Chain A
Amino acid sequence: MASKMKVDPSVANHGPSERVERIKARFLATTPEICAERAKLITESYQETESLPMSIRRAKALEKILTNMTIFIDDDELIVGNQCSMPRSAPVYPEFSCKWLEGELDRLAKRSADVFLISEEVKKTLSKDVFPYWEGKTNNEYAASLMKPEALEAQNAVVYTVGNYFYNGVGHISANYGKVMREGLDSIIAEAEKAKEKFDFADANQMKSLHFLESTIIANKAVIAFANRFADEAERKAADEKDATRKAELLEIARICRKVPAKPAETFQEAVQSFWFIHLVIQIESNGHSISPMRFDQYCHPFYEASKSALPAEKAQELLDLLWLKFNSLNKVRDEVSTQAFAGYPMFMNIIVGGQDREGKDATNELSLMLLQAAANTKLYAPSLSIRIHEGTPDVLYMKAAEVSRMGLGVPAYFSDRTIIPALLSRGLTLEDARDYGIIGCVEPQVGGKTEGWHDAAFFNMSKVIELTLNNGFDPRTGTQVGLKTGDVSEMKSFDDVMDAYAKQTAYFVGLMCHADNMVDLAHGERVPLPFLSSLVEDCIGRGKSLQEGGAIYNFSGPQGVGVANAGDSLAAIKKLCFDEKALSLPELKVILDKDFEGVENIRQMLINRAPKYGNDDDYADDIAVESANIYCREVNKYRNPRGGVFQPGLYPASANVPFGSVVGATPDGRKKGTPLADGVSPIGGFDISGPTATVNSVAKLDHEVTSNGTLLNQKFHPSAVKGESGLRNLIGVTETYFKNGGFHVQYNVVDRDTLLKAQQAPDDYRSLVVRVAGYSAFFTALDKSLQDDIISRTEQVF
């Protein structure tokens, strides 16, 4: 950690201003609603453009939305730009999928998590003007038509789910924000105009590129016009404003919105405003989540430097806090089932501070600390804040991060340069690009502005595969033979036989999953290219290709394995008790599992307490968990996507471990039918009884480099364990040791169990309680009860 101190920590000592507190209070008092504006406008646009090429249709649709949607500037705002006609509301994106919404319109306000209000008028607009047009035309329906029936059947059995991109936009990207701040959209338009000269209109394929380039020009011009609408609105409000201070603020907003994002930003406020327009419009163009700003402290720092002499640190902090509130104003409505896997209105917008620069030197600057302070000042769930740790991370940044961790908001998440840079190099990034990585969504690393990472390609239910292995490929829940016939349990004479069958089932389902992903991928390229986003990622303009067709420099698809601990512990119990000790035979075990342990609680206790468990630094269990993960990773590594990239595995769940558990019968780890799986690479809650050091040692045994799409470790600490400066040092000690042992990511929930139980009982008193769910934070009271229980049951490390 030795490094010269180059940052004065006092720049980041400023608490929230009254302005920030006022806007936050308004935000907390607002219940999200559904807004039909975007849906209505895009439907009209599609009806008008049926004769045009798809890329142009997409650009014209964006243009129509940005020209006609309601805009507003709220009291107190300095950074402006809204996503919907009302604050905190969610737009509808019917082109991706909308059948589910049609079916759930009346459930939205009544469901158990992520409630959305919806007016009768909005319901009527959607039912009359939107849904009928999209019948049979959505990207979801097209993608489904491309898939093999077996792939759909396996999804139906929830062996995996490719649901996210199957039903929504892809997102999971970081645009080249820095370039827009520095050069402006005018320069991107100029670039596209110039690129047109390269392509020959007489060549049919190249003509497609010309259409694409034209679409980026339409889209960028529309965004500039959109910013000018805010300038008009600010001027209009300024004319009516009595208060001289506010009037001046509004006129400054107007000046800035006339200038950016079209032209290069010069001041800090201009840079933040330019950033916000880009970030906002990306989320109006598509509903893909995890649009991640990444290294904001790096690309925004020159503007901070330029304004520093004229801008007091507390004003700069206020602008960042206001930006933080803006992040929270973005929203997305998901179907009720997905809401279980992505609970708590998450948008997964990841910002990361610190780490190395492209030359390998420490990159920490004032903004790194001020962004941590913004999280502390706003205490809300967005954005997801992360920190990169390397040998040269200065103590001042590390301690600031530990202090914020101790506040219990679940941020920042810690990432290890030592593991991630080699992992990215192994996937073909240049050294400079690997050093310049940031995090997408929960835990997925990539270099921003150059990558279409498809990081959330699928979730793979490793425990379901255990169940299917023991059932010879038959799924008891759906009553179908979804898997291969790898042999009846009575034919498995050794533990190797069990592992072989598990490996064969895994290989089969990974193949189907990658096929399904690739069909969804093709559909996005053909049906929903995104011209604006594409224009902000290298080298789409140069190649004359949208992101969705392989325009980016780096292309990946990343499906996640879920329930490593359950798969590992199940296999360890089989090895130990059925083969080593012969306490019961495998067929006997299967009968017991089929009956969900009914009448044999003592056998369940034996499975729990007499078989070694992952997470206790016990090589017996840990080695098997590692092997079960490796089997998955080796299969994923075999596949390629249609954008010219490879598949790369991850091991993290969002909150899919809860719904995934609900479809899996009793498992040999002693888990009862339908109960949640362990999250990420964390041990099963309650089984990690040897303390956090043992947990960290166990988890570090996984190969965190091959899982280059990310792994996730949750650790929960009681406040007393991180008390005082020594407590912060201990937190750093755990992080450092995990990373030195090869860990990838770790995050801490510092909140006591009593608080969570009280919040469950009196949710109204705890509306602002933010907890870490998986790779993101959310309001605890907005979560479904089963997920709340899961969070409470994760072992609390208190000594």
Chain B
Amino acid sequence: MNWRSKVLDFDKIARPENGLSGLVFDIQKFAVHDGGGIRTLVFLKGCPLHCRWCSNPESLAGKPEIIFVANNCIACGECLKVCGNGAIQQGEPGCEGLTIDRDKCTLCGRCAKYCYAGAINIIGRYLSVAELMAIIERDRKFYEQSNGGVTFSGGEPTAQPEFLKAALCELQERGIHTAIETSSYVPWDTYASILRHVNLVLTDIKHMDDAEHRRLTGVSNQLILDNLRSVSRLGIPMKIRLPLIPGSNDDEANLGRTADFVAGLQSLQSLDILPYHRLGEGKWRQLGVQYALSGLAAHAETEVLKAAGFFSDRGITVGIGG
């Protein structure tokens, strides 16, 4: 079992009728910044938050999606011929003019199947736990050699709790270190049942002010902060990640409050600042959606170091870049 062959299997895009399956949008091997050692990173699709800076917008919707990568288009016209629903239109001449009517699209996958250049893709594949394990096991020796393991990210991995639990449980039985990268925006009972199978939690704090948090992400931060305290009480090792977004959460007041909060977490290993980058902008375009932070410049290195100072001053171990 190989992730690439799964991705290229355009005949099996729909959710399988039987058995537990998870919706995965990417699997990355040799991840070295997400939980220690050499890891496999499994990205689950679907997220209850909608952060304005999200760099994986294809992860937000909890269903498969069609994307169009204009750069890859060789204008062969196959997609227009094979689409039975009239969902693909060639507007202006040239490939940039190709538009997909996502209401008409049934995600049958035919266009993607015949788009050999990889300009049209269906994001998201349903995998059983067994299929996922087969992919993960291929790198077992690397985990063992480097004290690595597997990290579930997203999207929001806890948004598919049953699949996530089953996969984590299976990994622990196989003796593979587990981590999750989560917003912690999940009902505590569900979270607690997942955490039983987790060796390390990587979790975000995006803003300390509830109103601002709602504005930036669409949800309240109360559940998140309560959950972080609970994770700490359980003594599960935790790394807090702070996406540092210019003009959104980088003011001194917020950084100070964040640092105060983090300093009180007993099981904290480190706080990692994730500086804002614009690599996600193109993906929004591929999904046919306007990017909210279009044109926003990244921080200079000195500004990132200054932000780090708020945490190191309180004795917190700070990493930059995760």
Contacts and interface: CB of A to CB of B under 8 A. Distances in A.
Contact of A610 (B37, B116, B147): B116
Contacts of A11: none
Contact of A602 (B30, B32, B74, B321): B74
Q: Is the interface of B mostly helix, strand, loop or mixed?
A: loop
B145 interface: yes
A609 B117 contact: yes
A736 B145 contact: yes
B138 A729 contact: no
A187 to B, nearest CB: 47
Contact of B116 (A605, A620, A740): A605
Interface residues of B, number: 29
Interface stretch (B1-9, B166-174, B260-268): B1-9
Interface string A706-748: 0000000000000011000011011011101100110000000
Given A602-B74, A602-B76, A733 B146 contact: yes
A453 to B, nearest CB: 32
Nearest to A617: B138
B150 interface: no
A693 interface: yes
Interface string B34-55: 0011100000000000000000
B141 A737 contact: yes
Contact of B142 (A605, A620, A737, A797): A737
Given A610-B116, A720-B321, A736-B145, A799 B74 contact: no
Contact of B8 (A602, A610, A693): A610
Q: Chain A interface: which size bin?
A: 35 or more
Contact of B3 (A601, A609, A620, A690): A690
A304 to B, nearest CB: 33
A733 B148 contact: yes
A690 B29 contact: yes
Contacts of B118: 605, 609
Nearest to B34: A799
Interface in A607-652: 608-610, 612, 616-618, 620
A605 to B, nearest CB: 4
Contacts of B4: 612, 616, 618, 689-690
Contacts of B29: 690-694
Interface in B260-313: none
A311 interface: no
B70 interface: no
A740 B36 contact: no
A97 interface: no
Interface string A582-622: 00000000000000000001110110111010001110100
A657 interface: no
Contacts of A694: 29, 138-139
B141 A740 contact: yes
B31 interface: yes
A721 B37 CA distance: 11
A322 B2 CA distance: 51
Contacts of A618: 2, 4-5
Given A609-B117, A737-B145, A741-B141, A726 B30 contact: no
Contacts of A693: 29-30, 38, 138-139, 142
Interface string B142-179: 10011110000000000000000000000000000000
Contacts of B31: 799
A617 B2 contact: yes
Given A601-B74, A690-B3, A737-B141, A730 B28 contact: no
B78 interface: yes
Contacts of B145: 732-733, 736-737, 740
Given A602-B116, A697-B138, A733-B37, A612 B3 contact: no
Interface string A347-385: 000000000000000000000000000000000000000
Nearest to A741: B141
Given A720-B321, A727-B32, A797-B30, A733 B38 contact: yes
Interface in B57-91: 74, 76, 78
Interface of B: 2-5, 8, 28-33, 36-38, 74, 76, 78, 116-118, 138-139, 141-142, 145-148, 321
Contact of B74 (A605, A690, A729, A733): A605
Nearest to B144: A737
Contacts of B321: 720
B32 A616 contact: no
Contact of A692 (B8, B30, B36, B116): B30
29 contacts: A601-B74, A601-B76, A605-B74, A605-B116, A609-B8, A612-B4, A612-B5, A616-B4, A617-B2, A617-B138, A618-B4, A690-B4, A690-B29, A692-B30, A693-B139, A697-B138, A721-B30, A726-B36, A726-B37, A730-B37, A730-B146, A732-B145, A733-B37, A734-B30, A797-B30, A799-B28, A799-B31, A799-B32, A799-B33
B138 A602 contact: no
Contacts of B141: 737, 740-741
A618 B9 CA distance: 14
A536 to B, nearest CB: 41
A24 B2 CA distance: 50
Give the 6 A-B residue pairs with the shortest CB-CB distance, closest first.
Answer: A733-B146, A605-B116, A691-B29, A606-B116, A602-B76, A691-B30
Contacts of B28: 691, 799
Contacts of B147: 729
A737 B36 CA distance: 17
A260 B14 CA distance: 79
A721 B39 CA distance: 12
B38 A605 contact: no
B133 to A, nearest CB: 15
Contacts of A610: 8, 116
Nearest to B140: A737
Nearest to B139: A693
A411 to B, nearest CB: 22
Nearest to B5: A618
A565 to B, nearest CB: 16
Nearest to A797: B30
Contacts of B3: 690
Given A693-B138, A694-B29, 17 more contacts: A602-B74, A605-B118, A609-B116, A612-B4, A617-B138, A689-B4, A690-B2, A690-B29, A694-B138, A729-B146, A732-B146, A734-B38, A734-B142, A737-B141, A737-B142, A740-B141, A741-B141
